[in-house]
Structure 1
Amino acid sequence: MTAYHFASTSVLDIGYLEWNPRGARTAVLVHGWPDSPESWRGVAAPLAGAGFRVLCPALRGFGPTRFRDGATMRSGQLAALGRDLLAFLDALALRDPLLVGHDWGARAAANAFGLRPRAGSHLVMLSVGYGTNDPRQAIPLQQARNYWYHWYMATPRGERTVAQDRRAFARQMWDTWSPLGWYAEQDFDEAAAAFDNPDWAAVVLHSYRHRWGFAEGDPAYAADERALCPAPVLAAPTLVLHGGRDTCNQPASSEGKEGFFSGRYARQVLDGVGHFPQREAPEAVAAAILRFCAQPG
């Protein structure tokens, strides 16, 4: 079993994995849905080898992370994920870290910069285009079709599936978002263990329902919601990595986002890769991150 460390914030006890604790620079890698911190293992090792201290926290509702108060709303709203990440950085007194996120984690990292412009040194987003905080956003019909699981979770039937058949539901995503045969059985089992968190179903359902205006947010994040919608322009140097065969968020969904960034911005499409680049092509992801961070400006 992977050994987790813990950092406490006002809301959560956050479990995290760590590589190279004495690294001169810090990288925080945030997983997506449906996945776990272990998804970063293949990226964390080369970053650690390049001198980074690498931390991979478990999102609220995942793995060993727990709410500290039973009365706290089990919100999955994107503003809360961004605020959680900032609280994690503060709890560990991390200065100027590289923030890397996949899927939910990419949204959390971008929103952390939206709430605190100097949250870190660089932003790297995997499989997600920025500017998607507004439930009124326009999306093409093909992308709406890809988001069938969002709408499904807004129904009572979807709620039952998430609560009672979560592993089969998550496996459906793993089997259809990337080219067939991309993962080993033990990798899915390891990730799915993170879904056994007692708050997983509540956080997941609220996240997707709130994202499209089907559920109210936690009032504690009302000011953060106003700060993030419409999406603010980000000054952090930003790299977007998107799989060319991603059938969850189509590669086109991250195109044309340059206007959201006032600093250096780059986007790279990874040929033959689906929705989970850090798992499918970890060497290419790590190399792209290190190249980007080595460039001036």
Structure 2
Amino acid sequence: MDDFGFMLMTKYIKTPHLNLAYEEAGDRRGKPIVLVHGWPDDVRCWDKITPELAGSGYRVLAPYLRGCTPTTIHSAGTMRSGAIAALGQDLADFIDGLELRDVLVVGYDWGARAGYVVGALFSERVCGLLAMAAGYATSKPVGEMSYDLAKAYWYEWLVATKQGREAMDKDRRRLCRYLWQTWSPGWTFDDAEFEATAASWENGDWAPISIHAYLQRWGEAAGAPEHEELEKKLLENPPVRVPTIMLQGADDADNFPETSEDKEQYFASSYQRVVLPGVGHFIPREAPHAVLTAIRQLLSDAAASDVRRS
């Protein structure tokens, strides 16, 4: 039982590579909503979102991304990949393994990137996507981005050095606290909120997965062999085939607003981008009402579409 008076249960499902932990709340017969957290974060980012959805009769499921306790990887020989393909495949495996249908996917940061993969290449089970704090099709050469943005990605370049990788591993709490403080300059959080999430990073997989995510993103490391075909498809920026709303914090000091501009051509269904004034990177924590409004809009649109088809 959580502070809001409803049952929040931690469950597990075995996917091809993970023993994937997730929290579930609400009515198991209700429409499924899958909440996918970002980095560096965990499912606690949804604590202001889940009660409203569960109380409205939806089935709310929030998986812990690979690298976050209590999710584990089956085999010691499996690459600790943090590639977008790995995150997207994990989400597709989660939805498939639970035999979910007509799912609304809600993701931010890494969760948004996973959501784009599913919305583009595994869309048959998805009715809509709410993506936050990360635009689609953002990979481009450094020479095509502003140096202000390159500076904002300093932590991604840092892991190309031995000392940077050691910082990600040995100094992860101090590093991530600094990212929380600087990515959302107008947001304040207390020690209890930070520590409730930081505990999930204390395992042997979090650092290598985090490091690999950025080495692979900038071409300094290969992806995992099991994701090779998916990686090839993602290089083509396949269109997202489900109705999508994208929420962008106007004050996001990590993924600047410029990174999510002018993406309409990548969406084969409806697409709306909403910029939130005074909001930084951690949108579910900073602006839960805006998140709930967007979720309700997508659910309403999906219901109207179902009526038209019938």
TM-score after normalising by structure 1 = 0.95
Aligned residues: CA RMSD: 1.7
Amino acid at match of 2:278: G
CA shift for structure 1 position 294:
0.8
Amino acid at match of 1:195: W
Question: What is the match of residue 159 of structure 1?
Answer: 165
Of the candidates 220, 228, 231, which is equivalent to residue 237 of structure 2? 231
> In the alignment, does 2:258 pair up with 1:252?
yes
Asked whether the equivalents of residues 40 and 176 of structure 2 are also in contact (C-alpha less than 8 Å), the reply is yes
Deviations 1:8-65 (A, max 9, x none): 1110001111110424200001001000011111112222233321100001111200
Give the alignment of 1:55-94 within 5 angstroms: 55-94=61-100
Question: What is the match of residue 207 of structure 1?
Answer: 213
Asked whether the equivalents of residues 114 and 227 of structure 1 are also in contact (C-alpha less than 8 Å), the reply is no
Counterparts of 2:105 and 2:144 in 1: how far apart (Å)?
27
Asked whether the equivalents of residues 264 and 271 of structure 2 are also in contact (C-alpha less than 8 Å), the reply is yes
Question: What is the match of residue 122 of structure 1?
Answer: 128
Amino acid at match of 2:113: R
> In the alignment, does 2:176 pair up with 1:170?
yes
More displaced 10-residue stretch of structure 1: 145-154 or 134-143? 134-143
Amino acid at match of 2:300: A
Of the candidates 275, 279, 288, which is equivalent to residue 285 of structure 2? 279
Counterparts of 1:208 and 1:135 in 2: how far apart (Å)?
14
Counterparts of 2:171 and 2:263 in 1: how far apart (Å)?
36
Of the candidates 32, 43, 47, which is equivalent to residue 53 of structure 2? 47
Asked whether the equivalents of residues 135 and 213 of structure 1 are also in contact (C-alpha less than 8 Å), the reply is no
Counterparts of 1:9 and 1:157 in 2: how far apart (Å)?
34
Question: In 2 relative to 1, CA 133–27 (structure 1 residues): closer, same or farther, beyond 3 Å?
Answer: farther
Counterparts of 1:284 and 1:23 in 2: how far apart (Å)?
26
Secondary structure of the 2:93 match is: helix
Question: What is the match of residue 5 of structure 2?
Answer: none
Question: In 2 relative to 1, CA 134–66 (structure 1 residues): closer, same or farther, beyond 3 Å?
Answer: farther
Question: In 2 relative to 1, CA 155–87 (structure 1 residues): closer, same or farther, beyond 3 Å?
Answer: same
Question: What is the match of residue 308 of structure 2?
Answer: none
Secondary structure of the 1:263 match is: coil
Amino acid at match of 2:228: A
Question: What is the match of residue 115 of structure 2?
Answer: 109
- Any unmatched runs of 5+ in structure 2? 3-7, 306-310
Identity across matched positions, percent? 41
Secondary structure of the 1:227 match is: helix
CA shift for structure 1 position 138:
3.2
Counterparts of 1:39 and 1:278 in 2: how far apart (Å)?
6
CA shift for structure 1 position 235:
1.4
CA shift for structure 1 position 115:
2.4
> In the alignment, does 2:164 pair up with 1:149?
no
> In the alignment, does 2:297 pair up with 1:291?
yes
Question: What is the match of residue 28 of structure 2?
Answer: 22
Question: What is the match of residue 31 of structure 1?
Answer: 37
> In the alignment, does 2:217 pair up with 1:192?
no
Amino acid at match of 1:129: G
Asked whether the equivalents of residues 243 and 272 of structure 1 are also in contact (C-alpha less than 8 Å), the reply is yes
